[in-house]
Amino acid sequence: MNHFSGLGRIATDIDVRKVGEKTTIARFNIAIPRNFKNKQTGKYDADFFGCVAFNKNATLLEKYFHKGSRVGISGRLQNNNYKDRDGNMIYKTEISVAEIDFCEDRNATAPAPAPKPSDNFMDIPNNIEEEMPFL
């Protein structure tokens, strides 16, 4: 089984390109934090993964996401190899994105303020002497 899923932040600008008339490709990197602290720095390190998305997913990424967006992705790992301009063989493993999940408000630029606590629980006056009809 070849399945990947991860939750992180988009670490690079999303590069979207059209290939032919029907294919859209988006490439980006995602930073996924590790779940333990680095012993030397006391901070959480992150792993960076190259991702590629096609057609509808590529368009969705271009329209709603940007560098720094929190995103959940799932897909599969794939290997690509090619020769560079100097004739050297390059081996690359990346995530082929099948699903994208919003992990924050699409329009949010800052966290929403927390609601202020209310002294009136459910806004019911304290001096009600009537019996509740459903008790």
Structural domains in the chain plus CATH codes: 4-108 (2.40.50.140)
Buried b (16+ CB within 10 A) or exposed e, 18-46: eeeeeebebbbbbbeeeeeeeeeeeeeee
Residue 42 has a pLDDT of: 87
Q: What is the mean pLDDT of residues 46-67?
A: 94
Quick check: 106 pLDDT over 70? Answer: no
- Please state, for a pLDDT cut of 90, what percent of the chain lies above it: 61
Q: What is the mean pLDDT of residues 38-57?
A: 92
Residue 38 has a pLDDT of: 87
| 23-37 and 4-10 beta bridge pairing | antiparallel
Residue 134 has a pLDDT of: 47
Quick check: 133 pLDDT over 60? Answer: no
Quick check: 44 pLDDT over 50? Answer: yes
Give CA–CA dist 82/87, Å, rounded: 9
Residue 125 has a pLDDT of: 54
| Mean pLDDT rounded to a whole number for the chain | 83
Residue 18 has a pLDDT of: 93
Residue 110 has a pLDDT of: 47
Q: What is the mean pLDDT of residues 57-78?
A: 94
Enter the DSSP assignment of 62: H
Supply the pTM of this predicted model.
Answer: 0.70
